[in-house]
C-alpha cells in the first residue's frame, strides 16, 4: 500500500470509531446547550394538595387544585395527579438484588403541572390535560388507579391505569362515552415524556426517540432539539430510550401521526390514534401498553411487539445483535460476562482465523517481493504505466493482493464498535464483574483511585489508574513489531503506525473495561497467530526467486 492509501485507511478507521468523541470535544455546546440537572432518586416532591392513600377508596370531587396519589410496588414509585389524570413522577426502583445499579427516574414533574400520559381530543373545547379529574384507587392482584371527567351533554372520559406486580408494565385504558344525541368521532392524542440529565455524555450516555414502523428509526437528543422528529407512516409504537433503559408506548389502535420534541429538561412525545366513532349513549375505548424499565432483551421480546428491536438500531445493529446472542449463550455456562467476553473473543478469532491467515501470508509474500517490486519501479521509472503493468503481472504470478494488508483492521472495526454500543445498552452488562479489580464491565477498570483529578483532552477525567488500556496499548505495540513491514513503507508511515497504539490507549483510557478487555484479548490472540505465521516458509513463483 502506498503512503496515501495507508493514511486514508487509518483516518477512516479513526473517524468511524472516535467521531462521537471528536464532536463532543470540538463542539461541546451541541451537547450542553439547554440541559438541566435531574436530581438523584429520593423522596417525591410534597404537594400542598391532599394526598390519597391506599385506604381512601371513594372518588375525589372536583377540586380547585390537583391532588396526588403515591403508589409503590416492587418495580415502581409513581405519583398520579388529578390534573389531567396524569403521572407526575415515574421512577423504576431497580431489579431485585441490583437496585443501586438498575434504578432510574424516567420522569419527574411538578405537582401543580400536568404530567405524562395526558390526553386531548381534537376539536373539543376542554383541554383534558389541564382538567381536574375525579380519582378512584383500587387494590387487588394489580394496582388500579382510575380517573373520570365528564362534560355534561357531551362525553365522559375514563382513564384506567393498571400497574402490574409481575412486570415493569403499566396498562392504560381510555374509555369515552358519548353523552350527546348524535354519533361523534373522538380523535385521541396521548403524550408521554422522559427527563434527560445534564452532562450525560460524560458517562457515554445517550437519549434517543425511537419509533417502530416497518423498521426501527431513532433520532438523538441533539437532532430533536434542533429539528424535532415526525413519525413515519405505519408507526406501531414509539418511546424514548436512554442508557440501559427504555420507556415505550404501544397503542392497540392505529397511530395516525406523532411527533417528538425537547424542552430544557425533558423529551416529549405525542401520538394521535385513529378516531373513536361512538354512537349516542355508547362507549368506545383505546388501550395503551406502557413499558418503563431496563433494556433487557428477553423481557422486551416477551411482549411480542418488537420492543427488542431497539438492540438492532443503527448501522452496526446486526453485529451488536449477534454479539449479544453469543454473550448470552456463553453466560449460561460461565455465569460471568467477563469470561463470556473471553470466549466470545476467541470465537471471533477462530471465525476469522483462515481469512486472517491468508491476509498475513499475503503480507509476508509482499515483504519477500519487495526487492523485485523496487527493481521494477527503478527500471520503468520513466514509464509509470509499464511499471504498473509489470507489478500487476508480478502480483498475479505470486497470487498476492496489495490491498489485503489493511483488511484485518477493517474486519475488526464493526465488531469493536458494536461491542462498545452493546456495553452502553445491555443492562445485563451494567455492573457485571469479571475478576479482581474489574468489578463493572460497563465502566473503566479503576485499579485504584489517584489522589488528584485532572481533565485531560481526549481522556476526560483522569483520577484513577486503569490497567487494561495500558495492556491494550502494549499488546498493540508488540503485535505491530511481529507484523511484516510493507513494501514502500517510509519513516513517516512507520511513525504513524507506532503512534496509533498510544493514541488508542489514550482514547480508550476511560472506555468500558469490557471493551478494552475484548481488544486486549484480540491483540494477544493475534500475537499467538502471528508467531506461527512468521514461521511459515514463503515460496515465490520460480521466475521471481
What string of H, E and C letters represents the secondary structure of 185-245?
EECEEEEEEEECCCCHHHHCCCEEEEEECCCEEEEEHHHHHHHCEECCCCCCEEEEEECCE
Residues 6+ apart with CB under 8 A from 136: 57, 58, 59, 145, 146, 147, 148
Q: DSSP class of residue 164?
A: -
pLDDT at residue 44, rounded to an integer? 32
Residue 39 lies in a domain: yes
pLDDT at residue 6, rounded to an integer? 46
Beta strands 51-52; 68-72: pairing state: parallel
Which of 313, 342, 376 is where one domain is finished? 313
Higher pLDDT, 91 or 426: 91
Distance between CA atoms of residues 220 and 208, nearest Å: 4
Same-domain check for residues 481 and 388:
yes
Region 96-120: mean pLDDT is 90
Question: Is residue 167 classed as helix, strand or coil in its secondary structure?
Answer: coil
Q: Is the pLDDT of residue 36 over 50?
A: no
State which of 421-430, 436-445, 500-509 shows the largest mean pLDDT: 436-445
Same-domain check for residues 261 and 327:
no
pLDDT digits (tens, 9 = 90+) for 362-407: 777 787 787 888 888 888 888 888 888 888 888 888 777 776 656 6
Q: What is the mean pLDDT of the chain?
A: 81
Q: Per DSSP, what are the bridge partners of residue 120? A: 189
Q: Which of 297, 278, 294 is nearest to 286 (CA)?
A: 278
Residue 349 lies in a domain: yes
Residue 543 lies in a domain: no
Q: Is the pLDDT of residue 57 over 80?
A: no
For 449, the domain range is 3-29+322-538
Q: Is the pLDDT of residue 496 over 50?
A: yes
Contact between residue 397 and residue 544 where contact means Cβ atoms under 8 Å apart: yes
Question: Is residue 155 classed as helix, strand or coil in its secondary structure?
Answer: strand
Poorest-pLDDT segment among 6-10, 160-164, 402-406, 441-445: 6-10
Cell of 168: 415493569
Higher pLDDT, 11 or 230: 230
Which of 264, 295, 313 is where one domain is finished? 313
Phi, psi for residue 60 in degrees, rounded to 5: -85, 140
Poorest-pLDDT segment among 4-8, 272-276, 431-435: 4-8
pLDDT at residue 488, rounded to an integer? 53
Same-domain check for residues 253 and 342:
no
Which helix (H) or strand (E) segment holds residue 193: the answer is strand 188-195
Distance between CA atoms of residues 427 and 408, nearest Å: 30
Using alpha carbons only, what angle is made at residue 525 by residues 494 and 318, rounded to the nearest 5 degrees?
Answer: 95
The alpha carbon of residue 72 and the mean position of all alpha carbons in its chain are separated, in whole angstroms, by 28
Same-domain check for residues 307 and 344:
no
pLDDT digits (tens, 9 = 90+) for 328-357: 999 999 999 999 999 999 998 888 877 777
Question: Is residue 162 classed as helix, strand or coil in its secondary structure?
Answer: strand
State which of 124-133, 415-424, 507-516 shows the largest mean pLDDT: 507-516
Residue 545 lies in a domain: no
The alpha carbon of residue 106 and the mean position of all alpha carbons in its chain are separated, in whole angstroms, by 16
Please identify which residue in the block is written with the cell numbers 527493481. Answer: 375
pLDDT digits (tens, 9 = 90+) for 172-214: 999 999 999 999 999 999 999 999 988 777 667 789 999 999 8
| DSSP letter for each residue of 369-399 | THHHHHHHHHHTTT-HHHHHHHHHHHHHHHT
Using alpha carbons only, what angle is made at residue 384 by residues 378 and 389, rounded to the nearest 5 degrees?
Answer: 95
Q: Which of 312, 239, 294, 332 is nearest to 442 (CA)?
A: 294
Domains held by the chain: number: 2
Distance between CA atoms of residues 209 and 450, nearest Å: 38
Which of 254, 288, 313 is where one domain is finished? 313
Entry pTM:
0.75
Residue 347 lies in a domain: yes
Q: DSSP class of residue 494?
A: H
pLDDT digits (tens, 9 = 90+) for 253-262: 889 999 999 9
CATH of the domain at 92: 2.70.98.90
CA dihedral sign of residues 456, 208, 267, 115: negative
User: What band does 491 get if pLDDT is binned at 50, 70 and 90?
Assistant: low
| DSSP letter for each residue of 262-292 | E-SSEEEEEEEEPPEEE-TT-EEEEEEEEEE
Same-domain check for residues 111 and 214:
yes
Residue 544 lies in a domain: no
pLDDT at residue 134, rounded to an integer? 93
Residue 213 lies in a domain: yes
Beta strands 266-273; 276-278: pairing state: unpaired
User: What band does 291 get if pLDDT is binned at 50, 70 and 90?
Assistant: very high
Using alpha carbons only, what angle is made at residue 218 by residues 217 and 220, rounded to the nearest 5 degrees?
Answer: 165
Same-domain check for residues 425 and 470:
yes
Please identify which residue in the block is written with the cell numbers 507506532. Answer: 498
Residues in the chain, overall count = 545
Residue 468 lies in a domain: yes
User: What band does 239 get if pLDDT is binned at 50, 70 and 90?
Assistant: very high
User: What band does 55 get if pLDDT is binned at 50, 70 and 90?
Assistant: very low
Same-domain check for residues 292 and 414:
no
Q: DSSP class of residue 460?
A: E
Q: Is the pLDDT of residue 48 over 70?
A: no
Same-domain check for residues 207 and 340:
no
Same-domain check for residues 47 and 150:
yes
Cα-based distances in Å from 209 to 27, 66, 188, 246, 318: 22, 30, 21, 10, 20
CA dihedral sign of residues 329, 472, 10, 510: positive
Residues 6+ apart with CB under 8 A from 105: 38, 41, 89, 90, 91, 92, 195
Q: DSSP class of residue 293?
A: E
Distance between CA atoms of residues 538 and 535, nearest Å: 9
Q: Is the pLDDT of residue 35 over 50?
A: no
pLDDT digits (tens, 9 = 90+) for 138-178: 877 788 999 999 999 899 999 999 999 989 999 999 999 99
Same-domain check for residues 220 and 344:
no
Q: Is the pLDDT of residue 282 over 90?
A: yes
pLDDT digits (tens, 9 = 90+) for 63-75: 457 899 999 999 9
Same-domain check for residues 92 and 153:
yes
Poorest-pLDDT segment among 215-229, 259-273, 313-327, 478-492: 478-492
Q: Per DSSP, what are the bridge partners of residue 151? A: 155
Same-domain check for residues 132 and 279:
yes
**What share of the chain in percent tops pLDDT 90?**
38
pLDDT at residue 56, rounded to an integer? 39
Higher pLDDT, 224 or 386: 224
Region 437-445: mean pLDDT is 90
Q: Is the pLDDT of residue 41 over 90?
A: no
pLDDT at residue 381, rounded to an integer? 80
User: What band does 225 get if pLDDT is binned at 50, 70 and 90?
Assistant: very high
Amino acid at each position: 500500500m502506498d503512503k496515501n492509501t495507508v493514511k486514508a485507511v487509518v483516518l477512516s478507521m479513526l473517524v468511524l470509531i472516535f467521531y462521537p468523541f471528536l464532536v463532543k470535544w470540538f463542539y461541546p455546546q451541541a451537547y450542553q446547550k439547554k440541559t438541566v440537572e435531574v436530581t438523584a432518586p429520593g423522596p417525591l416532591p410534597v404537594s400542598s394538595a391532599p394526598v390519597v392513600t391506599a385506604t381512601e377508596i371513594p372518588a375525589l370531587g372536583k377540586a380547585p387544585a390537583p391532588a396526588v396519589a403515591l403508589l409503590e410496588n416492587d418495580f415502581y414509585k409513581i405519583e398520579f395527579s388529578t390534573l389531567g389524570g396524569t403521572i407526575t413522577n415515574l421512577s423504576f426502583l431497580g431489579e431485585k438484588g441490583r437496585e443501586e445499579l438498575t434504578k432510574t427516574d424516567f420522569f419527574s414533574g411538578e405537582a401543580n403541572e400536568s404530567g405524562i400520559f395526558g390526553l386531548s381530543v381534537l376539536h373539543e373545547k376542554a383541554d383534558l390535560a389541564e382538567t381536574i379529574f375525579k380519582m378512584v384507587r383500587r387494590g387487588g392482584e394489580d394496582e388500579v388507579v382510575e380517573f373520570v371527567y365528564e362534560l355534561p351533554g357531551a362525553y365522559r372520559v375514563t382513564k384506567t391505569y393498571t400497574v402490574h406486580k409481575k412486570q415493569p408494565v403499566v396498562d392504560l385504558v381510555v374509555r369515552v362515552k358519548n353523552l350527546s344525541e348524535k354519533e361523534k368521532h373522538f380523535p385521541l392524542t396521548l403524550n408521554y415524556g422522559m427527563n434527560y440529565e445534564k452532562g450525560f455524555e460524560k458517562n457515554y450516555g445517550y437519549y434517543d426517540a425511537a419509533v417502530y414502523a416497518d423498521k426501527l428509526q431513532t433520532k438523538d437528543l441533539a437532532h430533536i432539539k434542533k429539528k424535532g422528529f415526525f413519525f413515519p407512516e405505519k408507526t406501531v409504537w414509539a418511546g424514548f430510550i436512554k442508557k440501559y433503559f427504555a420507556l415505550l408506548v404501544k397503542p392497540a389502535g392505529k397511530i395516525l401521526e406523532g411527533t417528538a420534541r425537547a424542552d430544557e429538561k425533558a423529551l416529549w412525545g405525542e401520538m394521535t390514534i385513529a378516531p373513536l366513532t361512538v354512537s349516542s349513549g355508547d362507549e368506545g375505548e383505546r388501550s395503551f401498553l406502557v413499558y418503563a424499565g431496563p433494556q433487557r432483551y428477553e423481557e422486551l421480546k416477551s411482549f411480542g411487539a418488537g420492543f427488542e428491536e431497539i438492540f438492532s438500531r443503527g448501522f452496526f445493529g446486526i453485529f451488536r445483535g449477534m454479539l449479544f446472542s453469543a454473550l448470552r449463550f456463553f453466560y449460561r455456562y460461565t455465569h460471568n460476562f467477563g469470561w463470556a467476553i473471553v470466549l466470545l473473543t476467541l470465537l471471533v478469532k477462530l471465525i476469522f482465523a483462515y481469512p486472517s491467515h491468508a491476509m498475513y501470508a499475503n503480507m509476508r509474500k509482499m515483504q519477500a517481493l519487495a526487492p523485485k517490486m523496487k527493481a521494477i519501479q527503478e527500471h520503468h521509472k520513466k514509464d509509470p504505466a509499464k511499471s504498473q503493468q509489470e507489478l500487476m503481472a508480478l502480483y498475479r504470478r505470486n497470487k498476492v493482493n496489495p490491498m489485503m494488508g489493511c483488511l484485518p483492521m477493517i474486519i475488526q472495526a464493526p465488531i469493536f464498535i458494536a461491542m462498545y454500543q452493546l456495553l452502553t445498552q445491555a443492562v445485563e452488562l451494567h455492573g457485571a464483574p469479571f475478576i479482581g479489580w474489574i468489578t463493572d464491565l460497563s465502566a473503566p477498570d479503576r485499579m485504584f483511585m489517584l489522589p488528584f483529578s485532572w481533565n485531560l483532552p481526549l481522556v476526560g477525567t483522569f483520577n484513577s489508574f486503569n490497567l487494561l488500556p495500558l495492556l491494550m496499548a502494549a499488546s498493540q505495540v508488540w503485535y505491530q513489531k511481529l507484523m511484516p513491514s510493507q513494501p514502500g513503507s517510509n519513516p513517516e508511515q512507520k511513525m504513524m503506525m507506532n503512534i496509533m497504539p498510544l493514541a488508542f490507549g489514550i482514547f480508550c483510557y476511560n472506555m468500558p473495561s469490557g471493551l478494552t478487555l475484548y481488544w486486549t484479548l484480540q491483540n494477544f490472540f493475534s500475537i499467538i497467530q502471528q508467531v506461527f505465521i512468521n514461521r511459515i516458509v514463503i515460496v515465490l513463483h520460480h521466475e521471481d526467486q
